[in-house]
Every structure is written in structure tokens, then in C-alpha cells.
């Protein structure tokens, strides 16, 4: 995701987002779906009456020094007013928010706001007033959805000049595709549209209208070729419908890695015979939908939910044409739905019923993302232990794959290998603070922990329990499968350093964060 026009890259290379970080939802949120009839006021929708600005101050945690936060920053975006006096914006804008406000672009009038619902995978958030709204929304008109934009359809980008004058920019819908909105690895339907955006006021995203209805949200624009990427209203409809019926379930994860079956030798190896389509399953994510249904590595999936899959992993959608199979579990289905899947296993045809679930980020060996929450850590003496997360790896910058410790990058890419060992998380030493306890260990970093005081470590909770038990001879023994293999920390020295050095010199208020 990057701010429009300026094209300043802000990469969020994470895994699959989930519902566990969502705040409690208000059961009175009105669903905004295509089934809702257009109200009499629908004709009055316009940038002036239906678009609001959302201003956000946010502050991210420092994943290298997890008891600290980074410097605060400010963002602003335009959002669409929807039913219930809520404003629809993208999730990347409200991530780690410490203060939000809704603003009328025409008058500058503002009201304090809060996030009422968010899905980082779908990159959508619903912002509501945090205080009594009184007459703030008088004269404004909520937008209904238009989920049926055809190729060639005229679209309008709705926004404002800095002086409050409304603007509309004409676009033409050129193509449907699959792409990422915010988190890498999460693919959704996108619209591709052509036309020049008249950029007047800094904003991350803009509402896109079709005949006065919300057709999508413009999430990216390239000034070099004048092409826009738009999140379509069908994804917005899914989000709002789900949010209106707590608990929020979110978009399910099928949970496979696959490759095409164009190679004749591969087709022969997996005994595909005369079967012309299908994808080869090269990996199954433990705990996700496919794995729970019994689908295995080496299977060849030929049909999902009644749609034949070609050898490239595409199918023919009746509305959008040729699309990736990702849309079959990111489109109209919800977590909890069941879909049929046909496959070949060693040449034998098999049928499965797959119950679609959404795997929570806490259930992954390497947490795929962390927003709106403090990272978990544990300080022993001056030695810092953490659970490996995508955010920690990305703290090394855009080139984290080459700059982060190689063994941690490898572990993130091969999580199944460590899960087979019975690990729930990968606990590692991420660094040391200069104390008497850590003398000689100053350069130790990025080393995965196997045992502490003879107990296997599968999470920081295990580490906490192992340290809490009286150690042999008053010495904590920490073991690794690689160099330095083991090290020792005096319990008395660690307690003294924690009381005198860490809390006083470094002003660390919490020596552990396990929530």
C-alpha cells in the first residue's frame, strides 16, 4: 500500500490476517448490502454529501525493543459515509491508531472517532463517532453499494480540494484481476480502471462511485500509466454483512500452496491420466481449511465449489471471467461455509467437503502480523527473548530477507518443519542489554531456544514457567541446538539486574509482556 500519486512504498509483507484482533462489534451496525433498496435520498449522494475525511494519529511498537513505541505519525484519508453514521475507510490507515477524528471536508467541522470494526486482510475498517454525534451528520447521505460494475462502466473518484471544494474524476473500468490490498499473501478481487486522477489533497484512498452508489475504494494509482486499482463493492459488502452479525468471522483461508500442472512429467508422476486441468498441492498449512478436511500434499485439485480448475489454477467465473481460485474462498463465501472439492490422489478420484475456517494469527508458528497490540517478550537479567513474528523480520527494513538473521528467515519460510517438532512458537534470543548477567553474551542474537532449565520451550509461556521454577544450584541453563549450545545465567544476578539496572537505568516498566 502506498499513498496515491506520491507512490511512497509502504510494504506490509505479512501472512494471512485474522479476526482475533478485531474489537467487539456493535450488534446494531446496519448491514450495507446490494439487497438494500435504494432510499429516496440516494439521488442526493455526492462528494459534498456522502464523503468525509478521517484523520488518524498512530504509533507503532518497536519490535526490536518491544517495550517501546516508534515515533507517532499522522495519516488522512477520504471515506464513504454508510448506514448508521459510520465511515468506511481502509484498515491500513487506522492500524495502531491512538487518536481518530471524522471531519467534514467542506466546513472543517470535526468529531472524535473510534474504530468499530476492522479486517486487515481485506484492508477495510468502519469508523464511528466516539462521542454523541448530535447534529454532525445532518444533511449527509449514506451511500448504498453497486456490486455490478461491468467492463467499460464509467466510474467517478470522489474527493475534495484542500479548500473544501468537491472534485470528481472520471475513470473507465478496464479489467478484473486478483491482487493484494494490504497484506502480502492475501489475494482478493480488484478492478483495474484507466483515467487521470486530479490530485488536490493528501489522502491514502478515495471512494469510487457509479451512478451515485459506492462501487469501490481506490487503493492505488500509478501516475506513469494512469491506471487505478480499486477494491470492489462486493468485498465491501462481504465485510459489512459479516460485521453486522457478530461475532465477525472474516474471510476464510483455504490453506494450500500449489503449482501448475503444465509440465508433462509432473502430470505423469501424479498419475493425472487424461485429466486436462488441476493444480498440484505442494504444501498444506496445518490447522487451515484444507488440512482439516483431509487434503494432502501431492493431491491434484480439479474442481472447487462446482468450478473446474485449469492447469494454471484458474477457473471461469460467470461474472468476472477467468480468475484465480483465490476468489472462490474470498468472494461470496464466509467462514463457516462448506464447499465441495474434487481431487486426484495417486490417480484416484476423491470427493471432499471442506469447511472453510479462518486461522487466527496466534495459531501460526510465526505470527503473520500484529496491529493494535503490544508484542510479546520476556527479559531475563538483560537477555531479551521473543516469539518470532513477521513484524520482527520486517523491522530489518525492506531487504529483511537478506538482513535479518538467516536462520529466522529460514524458519519463517519453513514453519511446518518446526511444527512437526511440537513447537507452537519459535522462541529466540533477539538481543542482550548490558548487565552483569549478560557479560560475554553481548553478540548473541537470532538464536532459537530449545530448552530452559531442562524444559522444552514452545512459547514464551513455557519460558515463563521454566524460569519461575527454582533452577538447579540457582543457575538458569538455556540450551540451543546450535552454537553456543548452552549458556548460564545466575538467578540472583538476574534478579538484581532486573531490579536495579533494567528498571532504573533503562526505565523498562514491564520486564515481560505475555498478553
Per-residue pLDDT of the chain (515 residues; tens, 9 = 90+): 344 333 232 222 333 333 444 444 444 444 444 333 333 344 478 999 999 999 999 999 999 999 999 999 999 999 999 999 999 999 999 999 999 999 999 999 999 999 999 999 999 999 999 999 989 999 999 999 999 999 999 999 999 988 899 999 999 999 999 999 999 888 999 999 999 987 655 567 899 999 999 999 999 999 889 999 999 999 999 999 999 999 999 999 999 999 999 999 999 999 999 999 999 999 999 999 999 999 999 999 999 999 999 999 999 999 999 999 999 999 889 999 999 999 999 999 999 999 999 999 999 999 999 999 999 999 999 999 999 999 999 999 999 999 999 999 999 999 988 998 889 999 999 999 999 999 999 999 999 999 999 999 999 999 999 999 999 999 999 999 999 999 999 999 999 999 999 989 999 999 999 98
Interatomic CA distance for residues 155 and 136, integer angstroms: 29
Please indicate, yes or no, whether residues 202 and 102 belong to a single structural domain of this protein: yes
CA dihedral 188, 194, 197, 203 (to 10 degrees): 0
Please indicate, yes or no, whether residues 315 and 402 belong to a single structural domain of this protein: no
Interatomic CA distance for residues 249 and 259, integer angstroms: 29
In the prediction, which pLDDT does 199 show? 66
Please indicate, yes or no, whether residues 237 and 266 belong to a single structural domain of this protein: no
The three grid cell numbers given for residue 205, joined into one nine-digit string: 484512498
- Going by C-alpha positions, the residue among 442, 415, 444, 446 that lies closest to residue 428 is 446
Please indicate, yes or no, whether residues 195 and 260 belong to a single structural domain of this protein: no
CB 377 within 8 A of CB 460: yes
Q: Is residue 24 part of a domain?
A: no
| Domain span holding position 391 | 376-513
Please indicate, yes or no, whether residues 345 and 392 belong to a single structural domain of this protein: no
Interatomic CA distance for residues 4 and 12, integer angstroms: 16
In the prediction, which pLDDT does 184 show? 85
> Rounded to two decimals, what is the model's pTM?
0.87
In DSSP terms, which residues pair with 47 in a beta bridge? none
The three grid cell numbers given for residue 416, joined into one nine-digit string: 511446518
The total number of residues shown for the chain amounts to 515
Last residue of one domain, picked from the residues 216, 243, 270: 243
CB 175 within 8 A of CB 108: no
How many folded domains does the chain comprise?
A: 3
Please indicate, yes or no, whether residues 447 and 420 belong to a single structural domain of this protein: yes
CB 492 within 8 A of CB 481: no
- Going by C-alpha positions, the residue among 203, 193, 158, 189 that lies closest to residue 173 is 193
Q: Is residue 250 part of a domain?
A: no
In the prediction, which pLDDT does 38 show? 38
Please indicate, yes or no, whether residues 190 and 230 belong to a single structural domain of this protein: yes
Please indicate, yes or no, whether residues 47 and 148 belong to a single structural domain of this protein: yes
- Going by C-alpha positions, the residue among 36, 96, 88, 94 that lies closest to residue 62 is 96
Compute CA 100 distance to the chain's CA centroid, rounded to the nearest angstrom: 20
CATH number for position 315 = 2.30.42.10
Interatomic CA distance for residues 390 and 348, integer angstroms: 39
In the prediction, which pLDDT does 36 show? 38
Task: Name the CA radius of gyration of the chain, rounded.
Answer: 25
Last residue of one domain, picked from the residues 197, 215, 243: 243
Long-range contacts of 11-14 (CB under 8 A, 24+ apart): 11/184, 11/394, 11/398, 12/92, 12/182, 12/183, 12/184, 12/369, 12/394, 13/184, 13/390, 13/394, 13/400, 14/183, 14/184, 14/185, 14/368, 14/369, 14/390, 14/391, 14/394
In the prediction, which pLDDT does 197 show? 87
Q: Is residue 361 part of a domain?
A: no
Contacts with 508 (C-beta within 8 Å, 6 or more apart), sequence order: 67, 379, 502
Q: Is residue 187 part of a domain?
A: yes
CATH number for position 386 = 3.20.190.20
In the prediction, which pLDDT does 420 show? 87
Please indicate, yes or no, whether residues 73 and 157 belong to a single structural domain of this protein: yes
Amino acid at each position: 500500500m502506498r499513498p496515491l500519486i506520491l507512490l511512497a512504498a509502504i510494504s506490509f509483507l505479512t501472512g494471512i490476517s485474522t479476526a482475533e484482533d478485531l474489537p467487539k462489534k456493535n450488534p446494531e451496525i446496519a448491514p450495507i448490502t446490494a439487497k438494500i433498496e435504494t432510499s429516496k435520498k440516494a439521488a442526493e449522494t455526492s462528494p459534498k454529501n456522502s464523503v468525509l475525511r478521517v484523520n488518524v494519529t498512530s504509533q507503532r511498537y518497536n519490535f526490536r525493543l518491544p517495550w517501546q513505541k516508534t515515533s507517532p505519525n499522522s495519516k488522512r484519508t477520504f471515506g464513504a459515509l454508510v448506514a448508521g453514521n459510520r465511515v468506511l475507510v481502509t484498515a491500513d490507515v487506522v492500524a495502531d491508531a491512538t487518536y481518530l477524528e471524522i471531519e467534514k471536508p467542506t466546513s472543517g467541522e470535526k468529531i472524535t472517532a473510534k474504530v468499530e470494526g476492522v479486517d486487515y486482510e481485506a484492508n477495510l475498517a468502519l469508523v464511528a463517532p466516539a462521542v454523541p454525534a448530535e447534529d454532525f451528520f445532518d444533511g449527509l447521505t449514506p451511500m448504498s453499494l453497486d456490486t455490478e460494475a461491468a467492463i467499460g462502466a464509467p466510474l467517478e473518484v470522489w474527493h475534495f480540494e484542500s479548500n473544501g471544494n468537491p472534485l470528481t474524476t472520471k475513470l473507465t473500468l478496464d479489467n478484473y484481476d486478483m491482487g493484494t490490498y494490504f497484506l502480502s499473501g492475501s489475494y482478493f478481487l480488484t478492478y483495474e480502471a484507466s483515467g487521470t486522477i486530479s490530485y488536490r489533497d493528501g489522502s491514502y484512498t478515495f471512494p469510487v462511485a457509479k451512478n451515485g452508489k459506492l462501487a469501490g475504494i481506490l487503493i492505488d494509482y500509478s501516475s506513469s500509466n494512469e491506471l487505478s486499482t480499486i477494491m470492489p463493492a462486493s468485498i465491501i459488502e462481504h465485510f459489512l454483512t459479516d460485521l453486522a452479525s457478530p461475532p465477525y468471522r472474516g474471510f476464510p483461508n483455504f490453506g494450500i500452496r500449489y503449482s501448475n500442472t503444465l509440465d508433462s512429467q509432473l502430470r505423469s508422476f501424479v498419475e493425472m491420466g487424461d485429466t486436462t486441468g488441476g493444480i498440484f498441492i505442494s504444501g498444506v498449512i496445518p490447522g487451515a481449511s484444507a488440512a482439516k478436511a483431509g487434503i494432502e500434499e501431492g493431491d491434484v485439485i480439479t474442481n472447487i465449489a462446482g468450478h473446474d480448475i485449469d492447469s494454471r489454477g484458474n477457473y471461469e467465473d460467470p461474472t468476472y471471467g477467468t480468475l484465480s481460485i483465490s476468489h472462490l474462498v474470498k468472494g461470496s463465501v464466509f467462514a463457516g461455509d462448506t464447499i465441495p472439492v474434487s481431487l486426484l490422489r495417486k490417480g484416484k478420484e476423491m470427493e471432499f467437503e471442506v469447511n472453510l475456517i479462518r486461522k487466527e494469527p496466534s495459531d501460526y508458528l510465526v505470527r503473520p502480523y500484529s496491529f493494535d497490540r503490544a508484542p510479546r517478550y520476556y527479559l531475563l537479567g538483560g537477555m531479551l527473548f521473543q516469539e518470532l513474528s513477521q513484524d520482527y523480520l520486517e523491522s530489518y527494513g525492506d531487504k529483511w530477507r537478506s538482513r535479518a538473521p538467516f536462520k529466522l528467515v529460514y524458519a519463517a519460510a519453513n514453519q511446518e518443519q518446526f511444527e512437526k517438532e511440537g513447537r507452537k512458537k519459535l522462541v529466540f534470543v533477539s538481543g542482550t542489554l548490558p548487565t552483569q548477567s549478560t557479560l560475554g553474551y553481548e553478540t548473541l542474537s537470532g538464536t532459537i531456544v530449545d530448552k530452559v532449565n531442562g524444559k522444552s520451550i514452545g512459547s514464551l509461556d513455557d519460558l515463563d514457567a521454566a524460569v519461575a521454577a527454582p533452577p538447579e544450584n540457582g543457575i538458569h541453563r538455556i540450551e540451543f541446538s546450535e552454537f553456543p549450545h548452552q549458556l548460564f545465567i545466575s538467578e540472583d544476578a538476574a534478579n538484581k539486574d532486573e531490579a536495579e539496572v533494567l528498571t532504573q537505568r533503562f526505565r523498562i516498566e514491564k520486564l515481560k509482556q505475555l498478553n
